[in-house]
């Protein structure tokens, strides 16, 4: 029985991209008996030389995804010297993109996995913000990277979502005079908590417009100046008790407040 032909995947990262491409190509040849072997995380030129020598001895093929120009040139030269078929799966694409984008590539191995990791961290943070929104579950307060507190209509929820896209796990807690804040709120370090302050006149306007947009009476107690001042006074007491910093959101867009928060916690 003939030994299977060898196809070596040489990569400065995991090598999974090249392996998928090779498998897809090999699948088009129904009578082929080919074994694929990865040589991943190549960090030096000597490993490339050894890969070429191994392929030569086994009469195998090489497919490589190497981002560093020096590495690509080395394996190409060595393969030609040893009459080994070696296919560059990454180089032509990088060179074409370089010309099209008019930008120099980073030439840093493993960036795609870093991007994937950033993506999953962001999704995790977004799910966290939804789960622990509006004081829904006090357990999230102690798990959060940041806790936002404020009276109603101080943009706690949109801020939590915006900051989640920065990979921050944010919990937010509404401050209402009739409701005692959860004990967990006083257990977090003050540096991890930020109070969202707002001018009473601005809050009155926001709440009045909110009620009207819902088809409700704009003069309801929710939007009355006396009620608003009572909530703000209670909010200030909670802030003093926690010892956390505050940011005034009266005239700020969500993006501005988020940037102010990021600057504050940094």
State the binding site: 150-157
List the alpha helices (DSSP H) in 15-137.
16-26, 45-57, 69-81, 91-101, 111-131
Residue 262: enclosing H or E segment and its boundaries?
A: helix 254-265
Provide the strand spans (E) within the chain.
Answer: 5-11, 34-39, 61-65, 86-88, 146-150, 170-174, 193-197, 245-248
CA-wise closest residue to 186 among 266, 136, 240 = 240
* Distance in angstroms (rounded) separating the CA atoms of residues 163 and 255: 9
Binding-site annotation, residues for ADP: 150-157
* Distance in angstroms (rounded) separating the CA atoms of residues 62 and 7: 6
CA-wise closest residue to 87 among 63, 60, 71, 70 = 63
* Distance in angstroms (rounded) separating the CA atoms of residues 193 and 242: 8
């Amino acid at each position: 029985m003939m030994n299977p032909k060898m196809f070596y995947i040489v990569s400065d990262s995991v090598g999974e991209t090249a392996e998928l491409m090779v498998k897809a190509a090999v699948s088009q040849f129904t009578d082929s008996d080919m074994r694929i072997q990865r040589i991943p995380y190549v960090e030096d030129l000597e490993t490339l030389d050894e890969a070429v020598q191994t392929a030569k001895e086994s009469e195998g093929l090489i497919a490589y995804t190497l981002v560093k120009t020096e590495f690509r040139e080395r394996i190409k030269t060595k393969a030609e010297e040893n009459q080994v078929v070696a296919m560059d799966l990454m180089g032509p694409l990088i060179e074409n993109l370089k010309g099209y984008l008019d930008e120099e590539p980073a030439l840093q191995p493993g960036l795609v996995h870093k991007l994937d990791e950033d993506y999953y961290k962001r999704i995790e943070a977004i799910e966290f913000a939804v789960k622990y929104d509006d004081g829904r579950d006090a357990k999230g307060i102690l798990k959060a990277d940041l806790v936002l507190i404020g009276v109603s209509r101080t943009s706690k929820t949109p801020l939590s979502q915006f900051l989640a896209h920065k990979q921050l796990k944010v919990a937010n807690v509404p401050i209402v005079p009739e409701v005692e804040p959860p004990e967990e709120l006083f257990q977090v370090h003050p540096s991890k908590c930020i109070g969202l302050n707002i001018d009473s006149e601005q809050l009155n306007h926001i709440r009045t417009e909110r009620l009207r947009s819902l088809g409700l009476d704009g003069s309801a107690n929710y939007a009355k100046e006396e009620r608003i001042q009572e909530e703000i006074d209670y909010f200030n007491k909670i802030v003093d008790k926690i010892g956390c910093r505050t940011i005034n959101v009266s005239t700020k867009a969500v993006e501005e407040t988020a940037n102010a928060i990021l600057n504050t916690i940094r």
